[in-house]
């Protein structure tokens, strides 16, 4: 992994709506010609799909790479049939609605869950993939969202806990509590991005930028030899960047309290849940951005470190491979490396 922090061009930032997507597309096309001064630069092409409840985009530079790009985007869409909590045809949905019955899942989902379980067992206070019943209490898409009652939260919390997920071998899993529901929102995009990156690299793509709703992965460098510059959003101004980081062969993944939220009576209710209280984590953090090689780990950690809060997060960094972490706490940007 190589990261530098000097360039000020923004080549990527995405959120879950098309308005920002369009403004980004404009920004991108407006900025790119300015980069051509340092030599002849292949012009970027982008392909986009809506998948995983967000905008997924690949920017690439050679016509010859288009087929591989289209295949990676199709694979991304196909992953909904594994990881979606809402699609009744998905493997995760069937597992979540098995009423406590032993369920056989595709091998890829089984292995993925086994891997993710390790983190949930090790860091149960911050990272919990069994929070589905709690997540369901917060409707961030509603015009008139409700704050869940204490009774509803404690009832939902009684249906959580990684120890209630039983791995039986032979791809079989049993959820030991009928009300328990797995929610992979914190890690699925990171894993899928990594698989898409692998597909592209295996097809010979040497330079590309993947963006899965703000999870950004760089393959190689830009064709002009420079790193990709990725913006980190200012949580308080949707259209402003607080920082840009330059990456090649690395990813930049953010979890922020401005991504999915509603405000009720002056209080912000967001989607990063403290597993102990069942309420949005309140610790002064507005966002956590993780820069590292592997986007699965970056996605998992962006959520885990956010919920832990900055001080505990810094203490946890030593458990992991090289990371560069950007915390935005009460409007202030702070960096940490391990
Ligand atoms: P996104 O990039 O979609 O905003 P994040 O990677 O920040 O997602 O993860 C947030 C999602 O993870 C939530 O929407 C929810 O599905 C799930 N989640 C929330 N809190 C936790 C937690 N403490 N541990 C694991 N998953 C969580
Ligand atoms: Mg995450």
Instruction: Name residues whose C-beta falls within 8 Å of residue 131's C-beta, 6 or more positions apart in sequence.
Output: 160, 183, 273, 275, 278
Quick: pLDDT tens for 217-264.
Answer: 999 999 999 999 999 999 999 899 999 999 999 999 999 999 999 999
Instruction: Tell me which residues have their CB within 5 A of the ion that is ligand 2.
Output: 186, 255, 299, 302-303
Q: What is the pLDDT of residue 6?
A: 29
Q: Is 81 exposed, middle or buried (0-12, 13-18, 19+ CB in 10 A)?
A: middle
User: Cα of 303 to ligand 2 centre, how many Å?
Assistant: 4
CA dist list (Å): 303 to 13, 183, 205, 275, 297: 18, 13, 30, 12, 10
Closest ligand by atom to 215 CA:
1
Asked whether 176 and 164 are in contact (CB, 8 A), the reply is: yes
Q: Say if residues 90 and 81 touch (Cβ distance below 8 Å).
A: yes
CA 127 to ligand 1 centroid distance, Å: 9
Out of 3.40.640.10, 3.10.150.10, 3.10.520.10, 3.40.50.2300, which CATH number does the structure's domain 1-338 have? 3.10.520.10
**pLDDT score of 77:** 98
Q: What is the pLDDT of residues 101-143, one digit of tens each?
A: 999 999 999 999 999 999 999 999 999 999 999 999 999 999 9
Q: How confident is the model at residue 40 (pLDDT cuts 50, 70, 90)?
A: low
Q: Which residues lie across from 252 on neighbouring strands?
A: 216, 291
**Ligand nearest 86 Cα, by number?**
1
CA distance 95 to 80: 14
- Alpha helices (runs of H) in 180-284, residue ranges in sequence order: 188-202
Tens-digit pLDDT profile for residues 164-199: 999 999 999 999 999 999 999 999 999 999 999 999
Q: What is the mean pLDDT of residues 51-55?
A: 95
- The residue whose CA has the least distance to atom 2 of ligand 1 is 255
Q: State yes or no: pLDDT of 25 exceeds 60.
A: no
Q: Are 211 and 232 in contact (CB under 8 A)?
A: no
Q: In what order do the strands lie in the sheet with 165-169?
A: 103-104, 172-175, 165-169
Q: Are 9 and 229 in contact (CB under 8 A)?
A: yes
Share the mean pLDDT of the chain: 90
- Supply φ then ψ for residue 240, to 5 degrees: -120, 150
Give, in order, the Cα–Cα distances in Å from 241 to each of 161, 182, 225, 238, 250.
Answer: 37, 33, 24, 8, 19
What is residue 41's predicted lDDT score, i.e. its pLDDT? 62
Evaluate if residue 78 carries a pLDDT over 60: yes
Query: Ligand 2: distance of its center to the CA of 294 in Å?
Result: 12
Conformation bin of residue 59: beta by default, left when phi > 0, alpha when psi is -120 to 50: beta
What residue segments make up the domains of the chain, in order of their start?
Answer: 1-338
pLDDT digits (tens, 9 = 90+) for 297-324: 999 999 999 999 999 999 999 999 999 9
């Amino acid at each position: 992994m190589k990261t530098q922090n000097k360039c000020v061009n923004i080549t990527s930032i995405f959120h879950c709506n098309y308005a920002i997507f369009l403004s980004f597309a404009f920004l991108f096309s407006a900025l790119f010609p300015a980069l051509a001064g340092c030599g002849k630069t292949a012009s970027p092409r982008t392909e986009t799909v809506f998948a995983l409840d967000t905008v997924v985009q690949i920017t690439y530079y050679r016509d010859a790479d288009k087929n591989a790009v289209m295949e990676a985007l199709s694979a991304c869409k196909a992953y909904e049939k594994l990881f979606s909590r809402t699609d009744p045809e998905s493997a995760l949905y069937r597992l979540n609605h098995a009423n406590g019955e032993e369920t056989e899942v595709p091998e890829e989902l089984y292995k993925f869950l086994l891997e993710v379980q390790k983190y949930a067992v090790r860091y149960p206070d911050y990272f919990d993939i069994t929070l589905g019943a709690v997540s369901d209490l917060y409707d961030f898409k509603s015009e008139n969202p409700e704050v869940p009652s204490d009774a509803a939260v404690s009832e939902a919390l009684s249906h959580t806990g990684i120890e209630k997920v039983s791995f039986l071998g032979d791809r079989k899993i049993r959820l030991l509590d009928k009300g328990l529901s797995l929610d992979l929102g914190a890690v699925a995009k990171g894993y899928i991005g990594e698989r898409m990156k692998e597909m592209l690299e295996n097809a010979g793509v040497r330079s590309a930028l993947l963006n899965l709703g703000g999870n950004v992965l760089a393959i190689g460098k830009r064709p002009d030899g420079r790193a990709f510059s990725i913006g980190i959003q200012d949580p308080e101004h949707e259209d402003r960047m607080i920082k840009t980081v330059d990456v090649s062969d690395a990813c930049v993944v953010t979890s922020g309290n401005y991504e999915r939220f509603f405000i009720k009576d002056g209080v912000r209710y967001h989607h990063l849940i403290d597993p102990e209280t069942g309420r949005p984590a309140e610790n002064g953090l507005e966002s956590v951005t993780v820069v590292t090689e592997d986007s699965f780990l970056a996605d998992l950690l962006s959520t885990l470190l956010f919920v832990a809060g900055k001080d505990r997060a810094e203490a946890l960094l030593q458990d992991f491979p090289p990371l560069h972490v950007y915390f935005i706490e009460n409007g202030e940007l702070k960096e940490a490396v391990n």
